[in-house]
Amino acid sequence: MPVPLHGANAILTGGSLGLGPRFARALAERGVNLVLAARSADKLQAVAGELAGLGVRVVPLAADLTREADRARLAAEAEAALGPIDLLINNAGVEINSRFARKTAAEIDQIITTNVIAPMQLTRLVLPGMLARRRGHIVNLASLAGKLGTPFGSVYGASKAAVLAWSWALRVELEGTGVSVSTLSPGFVTETGLFAYHRTAAHPLLGVSTPADVVRGLLRAVEQAPVEVVVAARPFWLFQALNVFSPGLVMWLNQLTGVRAFLQRIYDKEQP
């Protein structure tokens, strides 16, 4: 069931960049006390400073979530700073795209550890307190890449598919405990992420959403506690629906419509 937001205590990972600061502001404006976690102490301090005056406590905690000791410290210090944690938003993630044959072992480990292991392990640390209080909500940032694998993004897509499967199973497992799990699955987003990084527009058939769209999706996830909130433009919905019934057809359409070639131009810097 949803957790009332005003006065709730939350951990938000990935709070220093991308959608993180936008998520933080939206939550703070609704009365949520926040622990913001990311690796960069300076950037976290800047975000915390921007939220000053909103009438909530905002605590920046620098942590490398790929490290077990940092995850344990974050969970302990968050509760010491705010009190019992009502809301955990596993937003931190990394996207390193290229053709799979050129992926290094370190890159694969980084993607899987950041996107899958870290949120699982941080949830494992926070969950017992939620269960004891019979109150809590966990929101895991997934992606439509986890439902519709994009070429040259296979490892990232696999990591988000894992987040979706884990989140859905955990939600069923926790039924009746007072603790719930939601996933937030954006598609391609303007102003941040890969298109901002590469300074290019999305392919028309991929479609894009705005950061404001994703923030609204997050607020729906924390206020209503649905199983999943999908934030995507209409063209992507078509690809996703077709993929359920005929992945081979979607692969063919990727070729026919130029989506594969478009993604290759962005991701694959050493094209054959």
- 118 located within any domain: yes
pLDDT digits (tens, 9 = 90+) for 6-62: 999 999 999 999 999 999 999 999 999 999 999 999 999 999 999 999 999 999 999
1 inside domain: no
Average pLDDT in the 178-188 region?
Answer: 93
155 within a domain of the structure (yes/no): yes
Q: Is the dihedral of CA 53, 58, 62, 66 positive or negative?
A: negative
Residue 4 has pLDDT above 90, yes or no: no
Residue 126, in any domain of the structure: yes
Of 270 and 164, the one with more pLDDT: 164
**CATH code, domain carrying 156:** 3.40.50.720
Name the token pair of 116: 């899958």
Chain segment 69-81, per-residue pLDDT in tens: 999 999 999 999 9
Contacts of 24 (CB under 8 A, 6+ apart): 12, 15, 34, 36, 47, 51, 58
Asked about 267 being catalytic, the answer comes back as no
Domains of the chain: total: 1
DSSP 240-261: HHHHHH-HHHHHHHHHHHTHHH
Q: Identify the pLDDT of residue 269.
A: 57
Is 120 among the domain residues?
yes
Q: What are the two backbone dihedrals, phi and then psi, of residue 10, each rounded to the nearest 5 degrees?
A: -135, 145
User: For residue range 227-267, what is the model confidence (pLDDT) as tens digits?
Assistant: 999 997 665 666 666 666 666 666 666 665 656 666 666 66
pLDDT for residue 207: 62
| Catalytic residue selected from 71, 114, 135, 156 | 156
pLDDT for the residue numbered 271: 44
Query: Is 234 a member of any domain?
Result: yes
Residue 86: inside a domain, yes or no?
A: yes
In a domain, 4, yes or no: no
Report DSSP state, residue 55: S
Domain that holds residue 186: 9-267
By CB atoms closer than 10 A (0-12, 13-18, 19+), residue 172 is: exposed
pLDDT tens column, 109-157: 999 999 999 999 999 999 999 999 999 999 999 998 888 777 888 899 9
